[in-house]
């Protein structure tokens, strides 16, 4: 007899605030199960106008290390596996687009590393509050891939092409303090102060007019909407890279290390 699989996230409602805690293994790997769970949460929250804030956090030592590279490595070995991985990339986009479209204000509490798809999850949120000690990055080019879940588009829209080049093309890892300085995060504090700082921000937002918040978020969204062309470029680019020998070699080498 085998144990039932653990839910990849835990959702708690408390008045006007919903808290989503990621709990998908030690590194909060983002896989189909977690992405589907995020979609379900968003569909549920869209029907709950009384929820003003969604807080996304992790009790692991990382916020999320991104996609499961072992799964990517296995899928890259066959044409069928590559097709399955491309569908997972499309699921990334659906899940993160649902987060962006939520009427509720979404706050990412980044207490540990947010890398690859983990940072792309945070980029789909309205607020990012990072611990000084956290590392944020999109290192996909190091393994022959690209940030295909909105990273190239949302980071560029948020911080400009120069910062996007630094994080994506140079593969720089940015600590929380630097993330706040360059606009990747709105706030950064010492890890020991993070929970209290997020508590305060969530309370500050929840005290505002829900109708005004929804209207303001909708207006900001119009100005910051990711284009269909940008999303297609990411998906098509990653679909090609998944078939290359260079990417297979780099992913396998990374996993061996």
N residues, the chain: 257
The answer to whether the beta carbons of residues 132 and 139 sit under 8 Å apart is no
Burial call 148-175: b when 16+ CB within 10 Å, e when fewer: bbbbbbbbbbbbeeebbebbbeeebebb
CA distance 229 to 74: 29
Q: Which value, in Å, is the radius of gyration of the alpha carbons in the chain?
A: 18
State the catalytic residues.
120, 140
């Amino acid at each position: 007899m085998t144990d039932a699989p653990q839910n990849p996230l835990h959702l708690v409602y408390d008045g006007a605030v919903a808290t989503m805690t990621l709990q998908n293994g030690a590194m909060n790997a983002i896989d189909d199960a977690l992405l589907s769970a995020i979609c379900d949460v968003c569909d549920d929250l869209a029907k709950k106008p009384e929820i003003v804030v969604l807080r996304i956090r992790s009790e692991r030592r990382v916020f999320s290390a991104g996609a499961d590279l072992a799964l990517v490595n296995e899928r890259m070995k066959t044409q069928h596996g590559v097709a399955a991985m491309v569908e997972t990339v499309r699921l990334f986009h659906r899940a993160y687009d649902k987060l962006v479209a939520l009427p509720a204000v979404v706050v990412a509490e980044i207490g540990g590393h947010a890398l690859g798809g983990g940072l792309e999850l945070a980029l789909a949120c309205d607020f990012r509050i990072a611990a000084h000690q956290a590392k944020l990055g999109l290192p996909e080019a190091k393994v022959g891939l690209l940030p295909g879940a909105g990273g190239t588009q949302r980071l560029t829209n948020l911080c400009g092409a120069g910062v996007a080049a630094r994080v994506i093309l140079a593969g720089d890892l940015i600590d929380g303090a630097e993330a706040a300085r360059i606009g990747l995060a709105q706030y950064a504090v010492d890890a020991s102060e993070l929970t209290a700082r997020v508590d305060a921000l969530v309370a500050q937002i929840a005290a505002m007019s829900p109708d005004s918040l929804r209207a303001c978020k909708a207006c900001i969204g119009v100005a910051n909407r990711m284009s269909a062309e940008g999303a297609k470029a990411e998906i098509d680019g990653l679909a090609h890279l998944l078939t290359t020998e260079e990417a297979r070699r780099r992913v396998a080498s990374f996993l061996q290390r």
